[in-house]
Structure 1
Amino acid sequence: MTKFTDLELDPKVLKAIAEAGYEEPTPIQSQAIPPALQGRDVLGIAQTGTGKTAGFVLPMITMLGKGRARARMPRSLVLAPTRELAAQVAENFDTYAKYTKLTKALLIGGVSFKEQDKLIDRGVDVLIATPGRLLDHFERGKLMLTGVQIMVVDEADRMLDMGFIPDIERIFKLTPFTRQTLFFSATMAREIERITNEFLTNPARVEVARQATTAETIDQHVVELKPSRRDRAASEKRALLRALIDGEGEKLKNGIVFCNRKVDVDVVAKSLKKHGYDAAPIHGDLDQSVRTRTLDAFRDGALKLLIASDVAARGLDVPSVSHVFNFDVPSHSEDYVHRIGRTGRAGRAGCALMIAAPQDDKNLAGVEALLQRQIPRRDNPLTAKTPEAAEDGKAEMSGKPDRPEKPEKANKPAPKRRRKKPDDAPKAEEAQVEAMQPETKADEADEGTKKPARSRGRGGRKQGDEDRRSDDKVVGMGDHVPDFLTRSFTDRRVG
């Protein structure tokens, strides 16, 4: 079996690896490190959690052992899609390069430009950055990439999802053509393959697992949710999440809950804390200092549940994560592989549970098509406690008891409404009209005939209009009464 001592790494690097407690490399490390040390381009394809970061950090430290950094001209460049992944690469560099004199700089958003400029001005051997912040420094004239000897692109498929591919292509063109390129990804989309064909020269292809596969040590299950009502779907989904967390019991050491939207991250975290769970959110809209403190607390064991968007799905190395909960089925199938890859790392056992509502059927089918197998289903703990509860799961999930059925009332016809006799209605309306009309001699003379004004000669319409305009008030009797009944008319005969 291959050991790190067989890989021709720098003795100082081997000493740091031994102190970190590692003796045997992972498959991606044992196959990627030798061609990288030979100066070849490397295209590494492996599922998340297999040690890709050390697969490029270890040979990079060894190859940069000779030489000296120049101001504003880094000797190597590592591109990462997120701040958290870039910070993790920096931590790996500190761990394995502590017996060397190599220097590094971390360029990520949320940090002062001034502090980063100071590090670049001194000259660094390794520059670790996100694409956006790197280009910001370049456009400000604080950075030159003409001295880059080794360029690393980590989590390239995540770069594609986040829209960084144009930035990556621009950065490639700013670096020397003679650079060595190490390109790592968990999946190979067509756009990623196009970039590798354009910017990599005869790369050593290292593929240690089928694309988009998950570790066999992860126990995966789907729990289907059928909300009782549409307006209760969100609350019932959060109740199901709490039931799944409680159902794991002592097996749950710590876990990550993934949501598709940032707003849901905050809502779920707030709900869990309200019900007494140790939880905190992390997503792209939070300040970098808050994100760093939250991640540190989770890594140190001070935080049990991390509620995250996909910003935490790629590359975060927390070896002791026991569970991953997918509160939402990811809209991109590849994200499922990266999400559950946070557990079951380095051969450890892990558990991944995913909640699927009826509207998630299309996304769930996409995930299973990518995995080329069906994910086992698990009974809903809120509806499968007893046979009776399974039958009336809607009432149990909504927290309201079912109302007993009353067949004798259900078959009884609806009562008929009582209608007024036809003779009564005209008399009542006639009395109301007469009471509201002003008492005039013309009205008395015309009483009993009740003829409309327009039928009283050729001038009836005109004079009726004049009388209407002379009235002080028009009393309404409701929407069901015709408008002409509410007017007062006088009898003026044309002589």
Structure 2
Amino acid sequence: MPKARRRSAHSSERFEDMALPDELLGVLAEQGLARAFDIQSAILPDALAGRDVLARAETGSGKTLAFTLAMTSRFRGRKVHRKRPLGVVLVPTRELAVQVVDTIHPFARAVGIRAQLVSGGMNIEKQADAVARGVEIIVATPGRLIDLAERGALQLDLVETTVIDEADHMADLGFLPDVRDILAAIPMGTQKMLFSATLDGQVEEIVDAFLVDPVSHETTPVAAAVTSMDHHVLAIEPSAKREVTAQLAAREGRTLLFTRTQLGAERVAQELVEVGVPAAALHGNKQQGLRTNVLAGFRQGAFPVLVATDVAARGLHIDDIGMVIHVDPSDDVKEYVHRSGRTARAGAAGVVVTLALPHQVSRTRRVVGEAGVEAGWADVAAAEEPALDELGGRAPAGEPAEDPTLVKYKGAPRKLDLTRRGGADARRADERRANEERRASWEEASEPDPRGARPGRGGAGPRRGGPSGGGAGSGKTRSGKSAAARSGAGPRGDGKAPGGKRDAGGKGGKGGAGGRPAAGGRGSGGGRGAAGGRRGGSAPPGRGGRRGGSR
């Protein structure tokens, strides 16, 4: 990769001392923003000058506001052609697209331009109509943008600024081939700004191919983004996991819980509602309107607990999250950093708690060590341990709470069907409780056999695999099947739900909110038609024989 010019770190400065229009300064003042964060002070001079920017910044550093101010300043008062935007922002997930366009809207309105969300899981006809009328800035997931281009509803030959946000996450989800096709359809020499936590592998190839003499900016290394938080690891017994999770979730303040699977997120949220903690699940297999509604309610403070898969770990900014709980421990340091980065944002305080079952302790110790943080460790055999009190845990009410997924919040789609959801279920709750009682009776009845003999067929010894590793334990019944497995209410001991899958942040499964998973098999370049046959000499992006990207 060509060596990018590197600028020295900038000291934080006031927005009013920057070359920003008065309209934007007014919006910043209304939002209570007077002084720029480090990354904003570093990026804005180059971005306003139209330079290519290569930025590596910690999560929550304020880079979204940086490119928002740059684009709205440059496009202020400009006229736009039908179907031909001036700026494109590419993001990996729908939730991040919604957040970015919400950030842009007040600044765009102030300078008389428009921003349009182009994302899967929403009505493509309405998005095509909005683009056809003419918008200055498009915030898009790659797959949906290509869909509009292939339909002839969007042309990229007049784009002057392109932003690729969370480029490393794009690579993780397999979207960079689509990003390459989009960039190939945008005239070379126009401004490109790329933001990524890591700058290697496929991200480096994108930089080599499309950025021209970029200025490089870097704030704090990625791992350092979590050093300002208070980290704790609770080595817990499987039988105590559900109660420990409920006690921590019942604390005062806003709490974000992470699970490994979609089914696990739904189950944990249901369990919390059943014991009196209002909670809702967020994952890629939930209908888009319901996802938008859940996020709107959580942001507004209508309920205090959100249970999410890693779809929420990247880029989403939700104010005042006081604690992040890894209900299922992270598999690697990158995942740990981005999950944990949902708290202690922009200099605020925050607590990160990891719940590690016996077989997860060694891996958790390795991940925390690689993150470069000093975590407090405690053994928790039951929910009455003092370690939970020190973290603010408290006993939940015990009576079922109102299910947040049955409420429509401000900002949700107008036509929202709240009946299509998997909320708390009394039958599943009864089965879980009965299963827990059965497991407890087995554990009490089983005694070690000095000869090492296996319990007889009619005995009450613990079964192979033991209780479930995520939330409510699920021992096997006399027939050899777990009650949770029969009801679909709980995951297997390895944290993977029956029929469930790890969340891909927008790739979605059957019945999900968004498109097909990306697949390999084509290089970059234009799609249909010759490159010289369109204005500006660039063809619309195409998939060349395969479909992919985030819908």
Gaps of 5+ in 2: 1-11, 388-435, 452-551
Number of equivalenced pairs: 392
User: In structure 2, what is the equivalent of residue 163 of structure 1?
Assistant: 174
CA separation of 1:379 and 1:270: change in aligned 2, threshold 3 A: same
Q: 3-state DSSP class of the match of 1:109?
A: coil
What CA RMSD, in Å, does the superposition of the two structures yield over aligned residues? 2.7
CA contact (8 A) 1:41 1:204 kept: yes
CA separation of 1:403 and 1:75: change in aligned 2, threshold 3 A: closer
CA contact (8 A) 2:244 2:383 kept: no
Displacement of 1:380 in angstroms is 1.8
Displacement of 1:240 in angstroms is 2.5
**Which residue identity lines up with residue 323 of structure 1 in the other structure?**
M
Query: Does 2:27 align with 1:16?
Result: yes
| CA–CA distance in structure 2, aligned partners of residues 279 and 240 of structure 1 | 15
**Which residue identity lines up with residue 325 of structure 2 in the other structure?**
F
User: In structure 1, what is the equivalent of residue 233 of structure 2?
Assistant: 222
Displacement of 1:166 in angstroms is 0.9
| CA–CA distance in structure 2, aligned partners of residues 267 and 45 of structure 1 | 36
User: In structure 1, what is the equivalent of residue 112 of structure 2?
Assistant: 101
Q: 3-state DSSP class of the match of 1:324?
A: strand
CA separation of 1:161 and 1:332: change in aligned 2, threshold 3 A: farther
Moved more, 134-143 or 124-133: 134-143
CA contact (8 A) 1:281 1:308 kept: yes
CA separation of 1:114 and 1:410: change in aligned 2, threshold 3 A: closer
| CA–CA distance in structure 2, aligned partners of residues 145 and 329 of structure 1 | 42
CA contact (8 A) 1:106 1:127 kept: yes
User: In structure 2, what is the equivalent of residue 243 of structure 1?
Assistant: 247
| CA–CA distance in structure 2, aligned partners of residues 410 and 165 of structure 1 | 59
**Which residue identity lines up with residue 263 of structure 1 in the other structure?**
L
> Normalized against structure 1, the TM-score is what?
0.74
| CA–CA distance in structure 2, aligned partners of residues 271 and 26 of structure 1 | 40
Moved more, 29-38 or 95-104: 95-104
Query: Does 2:194 align with 1:190?
Result: no
| CA–CA distance in structure 1, aligned partners of residues 269 and 447 of structure 2 | 43
**Higher-helix-fraction structure:** 1
Q: 3-state DSSP class of the match of 1:98?
A: helix
Displacement of 1:358 in angstroms is 3.4
Aligned with 1:204 (options 212, 215, 231): 215
User: In structure 2, what is the equivalent of residue 312 of structure 1?
Assistant: 312
User: In structure 2, what is the equivalent of residue 382 of structure 1?
Assistant: 382
Query: Does 2:71 align with 1:60?
Result: yes
If asked which structure has higher relative contact order (CA below 8 Å, sep 6+), I would say 2
User: In structure 2, what is the equivalent of residue 172 of structure 1?
Assistant: 183
CA separation of 1:356 and 1:171: change in aligned 2, threshold 3 A: same
Q: 3-state DSSP class of the match of 2:276?
A: coil
- CA deviations on 1:373-421 (whole Å, 9 max, x unpaired) are 453313426277389xxxxxxx99x7569869999x989xxxxxxxxxx
CA separation of 1:268 and 1:78: change in aligned 2, threshold 3 A: same
CA contact (8 A) 1:32 1:55 kept: yes
User: In structure 2, what is the equivalent of residue 421 of structure 1?
Assistant: none
Map of 1:383-398 to 2, 5 A cutoff? 385=385
Map of 1:13-92 to 2, 5 A cutoff? 13-92=24-103
CA separation of 1:371 and 1:216: change in aligned 2, threshold 3 A: closer
Displacement of 1:147 in angstroms is 1.0
**Which residue identity lines up with residue 144 of structure 2 in the other structure?**
R
User: In structure 1, what is the equivalent of residue 268 of structure 2?
Assistant: 268
Query: Does 2:135 align with 1:124?
Result: yes
User: In structure 2, what is the equivalent of residue 148 of structure 1?
Assistant: 159
- CA deviations on 1:321-353 (whole Å, 9 max, x unpaired) are 111111111224212111111111121111111
- CA deviations on 1:70-118 (whole Å, 9 max, x unpaired) are 1111110001111111011111111222321101211111111111111
**Which residue identity lines up with residue 335 of structure 1 in the other structure?**
E
**Which residue identity lines up with residue 304 of structure 2 in the other structure?**
K
| CA–CA distance in structure 2, aligned partners of residues 410 and 342 of structure 1 | 50
User: In structure 1, what is the equivalent of residue 282 of structure 2?
Assistant: 282
User: In structure 2, what is the equivalent of residue 367 of structure 1?
Assistant: 367
User: In structure 2, what is the equivalent of residue 300 of structure 1?
Assistant: 300
| CA–CA distance in structure 1, aligned partners of residues 23 and 446 of structure 2 | 78
User: In structure 2, what is the equivalent of residue 136 of structure 1?
Assistant: 147
CA separation of 1:16 and 1:382: change in aligned 2, threshold 3 A: same
Map of 1:335-484 to 2, 5 A cutoff? 335-361=335-361, 363-380=363-380, 382=382, 385=385
| CA–CA distance in structure 1, aligned partners of residues 151 and 253 of structure 2 | 46
CA contact (8 A) 2:231 2:373 kept: no
User: In structure 1, what is the equivalent of residue 419 of structure 2?
Assistant: none
| CA–CA distance in structure 2, aligned partners of residues 307 and 75 of structure 1 | 37
CA contact (8 A) 1:212 1:371 kept: yes
Q: 3-state DSSP class of the match of 1:92?
A: helix
| CA–CA distance in structure 2, aligned partners of residues 60 and 107 of structure 1 | 17
CA separation of 1:134 and 1:402: change in aligned 2, threshold 3 A: closer
| CA–CA distance in structure 2, aligned partners of residues 71 and 410 of structure 1 | 82
**Which residue identity lines up with residue 284 of structure 1 in the other structure?**
G
Q: 3-state DSSP class of the match of 1:49?
A: coil
Displacement of 1:356 in angstroms is 1.6
Q: 3-state DSSP class of the match of 2:225?
A: coil
CA contact (8 A) 2:39 2:66 kept: yes
CA contact (8 A) 1:243 1:382 kept: no
CA separation of 1:350 and 1:72: change in aligned 2, threshold 3 A: same
| CA–CA distance in structure 2, aligned partners of residues 57 and 205 of structure 1 | 18
| CA–CA distance in structure 2, aligned partners of residues 383 and 288 of structure 1 | 36
Displacement of 1:127 in angstroms is 0.5
CA separation of 1:363 and 1:65: change in aligned 2, threshold 3 A: farther
CA separation of 1:410 and 1:288: change in aligned 2, threshold 3 A: closer
CA separation of 1:58 and 1:44: change in aligned 2, threshold 3 A: same
**Which residue identity lines up with residue 259 of structure 1 in the other structure?**
T
Q: 3-state DSSP class of the match of 1:325?
A: strand
CA contact (8 A) 2:114 2:136 kept: yes
CA separation of 1:32 and 1:366: change in aligned 2, threshold 3 A: farther
**Which residue identity lines up with residue 72 of structure 1 in the other structure?**
K
- CA deviations on 1:199-221 (whole Å, 9 max, x unpaired) are 21121111110133224442111
Q: 3-state DSSP class of the match of 1:97?
A: helix
CA contact (8 A) 1:260 1:331 kept: no
Q: 3-state DSSP class of the match of 2:355?
A: strand
Moved more, 83-92 or 367-376: 367-376
Structure ID, larger Rg = 1
Give me the identity figure in percent. 35
**Which residue identity lines up with residue 377 of structure 1 in the other structure?**
W
Gaps of 5+ in 1: 388-394, 412-495
